[in-house]
Amino acid sequence: ASGLSAVRIFRVGPFPTVLEAEPNNAFEQPQAVALNVTVEGVVKNEDVDYYAVEARKGDRLTAEIEGIRLGTAMFDPYVAILDAKRFERDVSDDTALLLQDSVASIVVPEDGRYVVQVRETSFAGSDESRYRLHIGTYPRPRAVHPAGGAPGETVTVRYLGDVAGPLEAAVPLPAQEGPFDLYAQRDGLSAPSPNLVRVFAGANVRETEPNNERGQATASDAPPALAFDGLVGEPGDRDWYRFKATKGQDLSIDVLARRLRSPLDPTLALHGPDGNKIADNDDAEGPDSHLDFKPPADGEYTLVVTDHLGAGGESFAYRVEIRPVAPTLALSVPVFKKDTQDYQAAAVPRGNRFAILLSAKRDNFSGALQAALDGLPPGVKVTVPDFVDGADQVPVLFEAAPDAPLTGALLAVRAKGKAGERAVDGRFAQTVELVRGNPNNTVYYKTSVDRLALAVTEEAAFRLELDQPKAALPQAGSLRLRVKAERKPGFDGAIAVKLLHAPPGVSSSSDLSIPAGQSALEIALNAAGDAATRTTKIVVIGSAQVGGGDLWASSGYADLEVCAPWVRGKLELATVQRGAPAEVVCGLEQLRPFEGPARLRLFGLPPKTSAEEKTFTREAKEVVFQVKTEPDSPTGPPKSLFSRMPLQIN
């Protein structure tokens, strides 16, 4: 009834849940739990939690923790498996597979009691440092090879990096391209979190060793789209690949390793048919590599992948994906304020309006776009302006009827455009930042959603109206927007107001507020001299403290036209002796006709100098100001002398 929560993570695991039972802070008094359970606990400041299990010789014993992946706090967990004599059998802090989360795993050397220790890596912690600790005999591979395949294909993969040795499985892949989660299974038990693979519509070629030299390169005759699956299996390993390309074709080459949670830090080098290096890359996509490439000639090209520091091992898996460059389109809602999810969903009050900003990211094409939203609840309508060519954001306006049901919905957001004669479709893909921390407020964990959340809420305490501007905003000019508030009886609090989105080259005054008890304000707009000349839908949003929280509503649309100026002026240099009069000439360039006289004022004159306002008509070529000075007027040039022309446009 009052709005929407933030997005939160809810984990579903394969094991029954056990709650942490304090006290369990001492190695000598651990909490006893069964194997293959998930313990829900919390690490408070300087807290250390211990759990004891009985294990048999030869079993795999693994402790994987979900801490930062729960998305609630900057929690960096540490996990250790200790034997009955308190010797550490395995410890884990950060992992490539699990980010800041940890996994410790051993093959049990003898029957007996083993203790799992959980703490924050630097002995910090808080009431928000919650975790899910999976203790059991389940498989826990660190990598998959090959790390992908074709849509709908059943691919035989090897799960690598498990302490009990590699696993092999036949895995059916989905029909849709993109990332896919694989859960390793053995003896009826599943890994509690996935390994990541790719579904790729093209030829998928697995590396064949040896391929450490150019002459041994793993080759494919298939044209792009083409993917190579490889493994930097030992320190110093270099993997070479050979493929065919056509002159002038725009190609994209991606090495995916960290994006698949592999420990590999890949470098990529590309060589031409003559063997000479054309280009190389490191860390274009985080630690991963990327190249855009236009072959200078038909022929066979080679590329080589290695680790940046010469590392390697059985879990250093990766994929090289080579694609023809194609137009793509993605939609999202931009971050309104760091470290919060405010204004990334729509809470529309009954009988009122709510606007959000929709962003479109075009790659490899331009032009106009048409967007639409599906799945609106009863009593709600939406208006989505077209994205004109060059625009990448539009304000989307929701309106709820006074009797709209209090309800929620998840909306599908889509858009379409054209790249030449080719249709381009885009969908909603919203990144939600969940955990930030030092240094520099870095994002440590995030998730993504493919729907826009909307709720119809109770009637708001205010309603905003934006007056339609009576004139266009000229380049290098200014304009004032008038905003009015209609207050519900009993509410007289302050309302913070801002323009949701300004057109390119236009800026607006910020940190504005309709004071308590008042009903209007003006927003100043200023256009740069090169602001785009077009008409744009604009909307203002407002928030007020109501019932202990922020309540948001928006105005309706107004049309803002940015136009070329009617007149351009240039002030000529002038000097004057103190106490004497002077003439300052402003040359005029008449660009557009206007009716009646216009006024011209001088601003920035030094103290103890003055000049009267002048009028001119559309035929005037210049205006001459008579500047008066005093005997004690300060000498020297003024810091900023300029003229301003208020025009009344009917």
pLDDT of 564-589, one tens digit each?
Answer: 888 888 888 888 888 899 899 999 98
Look up residue 336 and give its two tokens: 């309104």
Look up residue 382 and give its two tokens: 């939406």
The whole-angstrom separation of Cα 556 and Cα 467 is 9
What's the pTM value of the predicted model, to 2 decimals?
Answer: 0.86
Predicted confidence at residue 648, as pLDDT, reads 55
Look up residue 279 and give its two tokens: 């280009």
The whole-angstrom separation of Cα 77 and Cα 72 is 13
The whole-angstrom separation of Cα 487 and Cα 108 is 70
The whole-angstrom separation of Cα 546 and Cα 491 is 9
Task: Kindly tell me if the per-residue pLDDT of 338 is higher than 80.
Answer: no
- Mean per-residue pLDDT over the chain, rounded: 94
The whole-angstrom separation of Cα 292 and Cα 639 is 49
Which segments of 375-494 are extended strands (E)? 380-383, 393-400, 408-419, 422-428, 430-437, 442-449, 452-457, 462-466, 473-474, 478-487
With vertex at residue 549, the alpha carbon angle to CA 547 and CA 552, rounded to the nearest 5 degrees, is 105
The whole-angstrom separation of Cα 586 and Cα 174 is 71
Backbone angles phi, psi at 405, to 5 degrees: -60, 145
Percent of the chain whose predicted confidence (pLDDT) is above 70: 99
Q: How confident is the model at residue 99 (pLDDT cuts 50, 70, 90)?
A: very high
The whole-angstrom separation of Cα 1 and Cα 602 is 55
Task: Go through the chain and tell me how many residues it has.
Answer: 650
With vertex at residue 119, the alpha carbon angle to CA 116 and CA 123, rounded to the nearest 5 degrees, is 145
The distance between the two most distant Cα atoms of the chain, rounded to a whole number of Å, is 106
Backbone angles phi, psi at 582, to 5 degrees: -145, 160
Task: Kindly tell me if the per-residue pLDDT of 154 is higher than 70.
Answer: yes
Q: Which amino acid is at 15?
A: F
User: Is 504 buried (19+), middle (13-18) or exposed (0-12) by CB count in 10 A?
Assistant: middle
pLDDT of 418-436, one tens digit each?
Answer: 999 999 999 999 999 999 9
* Interval 51-74 mean pLDDT: 97
3-state secondary structure 23-50: CCCCCCCCEECCCCEEEEEECCCCCEEE
Task: Kindly tell me if the per-residue pLDDT of 144 is higher than 90.
Answer: yes
Predicted confidence at residue 92, as pLDDT, reads 97
pLDDT of 504-532, one tens digit each?
Answer: 999 998 889 999 999 999 999 999 999 99
pLDDT of 463-512, one tens digit each?
Answer: 999 999 988 999 988 999 999 999 999 999 999 999 999 999 999 988 89
Predicted confidence at residue 511, as pLDDT, reads 86
pLDDT of 617-627, one tens digit each?
Answer: 888 999 999 99
The whole-angstrom separation of Cα 63 and Cα 256 is 27
The whole-angstrom separation of Cα 196 and Cα 288 is 15
Neighbours of 78 (CB within 10 A): 21
* Residue whose pair of structure tokens reads 């008038």 in the numeric block: 482
Between strands 226-231 and 203-206, the pairing is parallel
Predicted confidence at residue 650, as pLDDT, reads 42
3-state secondary structure 430-452: EEEEEEEECCCCEEEEEEEECCE
The whole-angstrom separation of Cα 589 and Cα 574 is 20
**DSSP assignments along 113-140, one per residue:** EEEEEEEETTS---TT-EEEEEEES---
